[in-house]
Amino acid sequence: MEGLGVDRFWRERSVFVTGCTGLLGSWLVEELLARGARVVGLVRDGVPRSRLVSTGLERQIVTVTGCVEDIALLQRVLNEYEVDTVFHLAAQTIVGVANRDPLATFEANIRGTWNLLEACRRTGTAGRIVVASSDKAYGDQAVLPYDEETALQGEHPYDVSKSCADLISRTYYVSYGLPVCITRCGNFYGGGDLNFNRLVPETIRSVLRGEPVAIRSDGSYIRDYFYVRDGALAYLHLAQQMDRSEVLGEAFNFSNELQLSVLEMVRRILTLMERDDLEVIILDQARNEIVHQYLSAHKARTLLGWSARYSLEAALSETIDWYRRYFARHDPSTLTLAPP
């Protein structure tokens, strides 16, 4: 059984997770703890309603308060906790925030990445380092889907920050032999995402409140939506494969390879929630965003033997159930719309 092998691999392994209070971070921490890992998490801001806190996961790990812009702190953590595996997830991830404040985004996403990698190089304890890039690192391309040979050519602030961090990660492998791999995933969604300017949680919240669903773009933008639980399992799977020389230094796309427009995704959610009657309002206000993007996961499937475990319907159903429970606790106006 695969799970038993995974458990043996992670048992008592010291793992450092930056960005552990984020959507992917909380699910990754949960998977690591279930497998017996000793987790150290970097926390910049206290987020009382984050999934890491609300589920009690925070009490089961060592939390270090600080940010990836502080290289001395990163070196201390790596040394004191004798970190074997690093998952670098910390980043400013919201496109709108990046557009409003590009310098802070560059500091967190670019400087933060080279600080983390340089700290790993100086301490020399980490045997595997997984750096989270993004499908946005590819920029706007005429040929889709993106594969790992597609040029990195971000143009807008968030996209550029990911292109740069991605290239910096590669150079630390090529120039210094640092054991790095890079992940490029699409738009994560799933229970625990409290950034309600993102499509999936905002759509579900609107439905639970019986309100019209507003779409910032014109609805035609194509995105690669990736369930966060599949994402967490993909990260663990990749890290396990990093004892293989042909894997080290490589970038991998992870995707269920299902392309949907924004409007199609909204319609899927409305159908699953049995609220096709709700109005969908097209605001057409999106700026500085790539119009069409989706990924090929052929390399991950063939070289790593990876595949997604959740169908879109199963993933969305789990996600909707999570938000029903969440809003029943935190937003009494949704109670009358909860299922019997």
Query: Closest Cα to residue 42, out of 115, 97, 99?
Result: 115
User: Which residues make Cβ contacts (< 8 Å) with residue 88, sequence separation at least 6?
Assistant: 18, 19, 68, 113, 116, 129, 130, 131, 132
Residue 312 host element (H or E): helix 312-330
Q: Counting runs of H as helices and runs of E as strands, what totals does the chain give? A: 13, 12
Return the structure tokens found at 294: 């989706």
How big is the CA angle at 93 (ends 182 and 101), to the nearest 5 degrees?
A: 125
**Distance (Å, whole) CA 216 – CA 286:** 6
User: If you ran DSSP here, which 8-state letter would residue 127 be given?
Assistant: S
Q: What backbone phi and psi angles, to 5 degrees, belong to 32? A: -65, -45
User: Which residues make Cβ contacts (< 8 Å) with residue 165, sequence separation at least 6?
Assistant: 91, 109, 110, 112, 113, 131, 133, 137
Q: 158, 221, 227, 310: which one is catalytic?
A: 158
Q: By the 8 A CB rule, do 193 and 200 touch?
A: yes
Q: Catalytic annotation on 158?
A: yes
Return the structure tokens found at 315: 């993933």
User: Which residues make Cβ contacts (< 8 Å) with residue 179, sequence separation at least 6?
Assistant: 126, 127, 128, 129, 173, 242, 248
DSSP per-residue letters across 52-114 = HHHTTGGGGSEEEE--TT-HHHHHHHHHHTT--EEEE------HHHHHH-HHHHHIIIIIHHH
Give catalytic residues, as residue numbers.
Answer: 158
